[in-house]
Structure 1
Amino acid sequence: MSIYDDDDVVRALGVVVDEGRGTLPYRLVHGESLVACAAWALGEAGVDIVDASVPWAGLVESGSDLVLHDPLCPMTPAAFIATCLRLAREGDRPVVGVRPVTDTVKAVAGGVVGRTLDRDAMLAVTSPLVVPAAVLSRLPGRPVPDLARTVSDLAAAGHEVQTVQAPPEGRRVTSSDELRLLEVLTTPQG
């Protein structure tokens, strides 16, 4: 599953981004915390996990690609993370997992609900976000914990961000109900 078949390949560094997510990352799915599931997926993808307290300069100086993984996408398969890392390296550009938008989205202006927006033209950022070392070295500082905002910031800075559709089990959860749905979705059938 890992992309590291060659001993000469520099391993990527990964951070499980739990900042600003409340207590939900510490809830359980299949008996394990969402944070633990996210960390295991990074490890299984061949990514070396670093603590969020590692200084920004240390991450840049490592010369490694950086994989940001949202623990609210705890069941993202390791193979998908490894694919995103491979694509980021091949294209030398950031790569982010996305899911289709399925909710109805309305425009709001001046406190008035307006027209329905075309959800086919929208994507929901999930996980991971892979930032290649060459791009990482040009960033002014540590990416913000909000992966969607980081993707927007990267694009605004002129970086082409490749989107890759995440599998259904890679969806992001934001509530207890969504977490229960993810657990049902990822329960092995037997």
Structure 2
Amino acid sequence: MTSSASPEPVVAVVVAAGSGVRLGAGAPKALREIGGRALVAHAVNALAAGGVTRVVVVSRLELADDFDRALADATIPWTLVGGGAERQDSVANGLAEVARVEPGARHVLVHDAARPFVPATVVAAVVDALRAGAPAVIPVTPVVDTIRALSGGPGASAVVDRSVLRAVQTPQGFDLATLVRAHQHVRSEGLAVTDDAMACEAIGAAVTLVEGSRDALKVTDPFDLEIAEAVWQRRRHLTGETR
């Protein structure tokens, strides 16, 4: 599925600099394979299916040959740039590359390579919300577990009303100028943010929520990798995909 037809480019910054230490010994996380294809390749093709027209991958430049192999059959153009000390530094590097390779772009998505199976419908919903005028868009899912918040004393805690909680996923979408300004602000103020929506909120930009998907799980540890393998196997069974 693709988003509404439009000649306007939509570029995604794919953060792929994680070492994958919690996954155990092996290749860096983005280059781990499911079904014979690297996580980053699954992620890039999912973004393309949802309406993204070009990707900037942010990772370690010494892995350039590995990414060339992993993305040899990518369905949209892509560029590799080096990451930074923190995730927000890596995203800032990616945004600078977006301005270079796609100077006419007004919208940008930021996605984690570790979420390889985000459905195209979720990507398209983010893109469509941006085209409708939202400055910042994030996909979310309901929290299904009971959550307790620690409340100070040893062993003290209290249940949090999960009906008002949402888990945040990627890709997050942004008006490009707004996100660039947000990153400039958090850098100049020395603020640490855990995602790009937080950076935009720091400059007063409103964040729009769209429906995410449990298929867009983030691969962090070996158990997550097993679940992602199961998601791929289900899709393979339903669609006949071989990779």
TM class by shorter chain equals 0.7 to 0.9
2:132 alignment partner, SS class: helix
Larger Rg: 2
Query: How far off its partner does 1:40 sit?
Result: 1.1
Tell me the residue number matched to 1:33: 38
Change (3 A) 1:24 1:103: farther
Q: Quick check: 1:27–1:33 contact (8 Å CA) kept in 2?
A: yes
Normalising to structure 2: TM-score of the pair? 0.65
Aligned residues: 187
| Contiguous gaps of at least 5 residues in structure 2 | 21-27, 59-80, 82-92, 239-243
Q: Quick check: 1:92–1:132 contact (8 Å CA) kept in 2?
A: yes
Change (3 A) 1:25 1:112: farther
Range with greater deviation from structure 2 (51-60 or 90-99): 51-60
Alignment of 1:59 with 2:98, yes or no, is yes
Change (3 A) 1:29 1:111: farther
Q: Quick check: 1:143–1:150 contact (8 Å CA) kept in 2?
A: no
Change (3 A) 1:103 1:29: farther
Q: Quick check: 1:93–1:131 contact (8 Å CA) kept in 2?
A: yes
For residues 32 and 167 of structure 1, the distance between their equivalents in structure 2, rounded to whole angstroms, comes to 21
RMSD between superposed Cα atoms in Å: 2.9
Instruction: Report percent identity of matched pairs.
Output: 28
Q: Quick check: 2:183–2:199 contact (8 Å CA) kept in 1?
A: no
Alignment of 1:118 with 2:167, yes or no, is no
For residues 143 and 37 of structure 1, the distance between their equivalents in structure 2, rounded to whole angstroms, comes to 31
Query: How far off its partner does 1:178 sit?
Result: 2.2
Name the structure where helix makes up a greater proportion of residues. Answer: 2
Query: How far off its partner does 1:41 sit?
Result: 1.2
Query: How far off its partner does 1:138 sit?
Result: 3.0
1:36 alignment partner, SS class: helix
Change (3 A) 1:74 1:170: same
Q: How does 1:26-105 map to 2 (within 5 A)?
A: 26-47=31-52, 48-52=54-58, 53=81, 56-60=95-99, 62-64=103-105, 65-105=107-147
Tell me the residue number matched to 2:16: 18
Query: How far off its partner does 1:152 sit?
Result: 2.0
Q: Quick check: 1:56–1:141 contact (8 Å CA) kept in 2?
A: no
Change (3 A) 1:4 1:35: same
Query: How far off its partner does 1:111 sit?
Result: 6.6
For residues 175 and 123 of structure 1, the distance between their equivalents in structure 2, rounded to whole angstroms, comes to 22
Choose from 188, 196, 200 the match for 1:154: 200
Change (3 A) 1:142 1:45: farther
Query: How far off its partner does 1:147 sit?
Result: 8.4
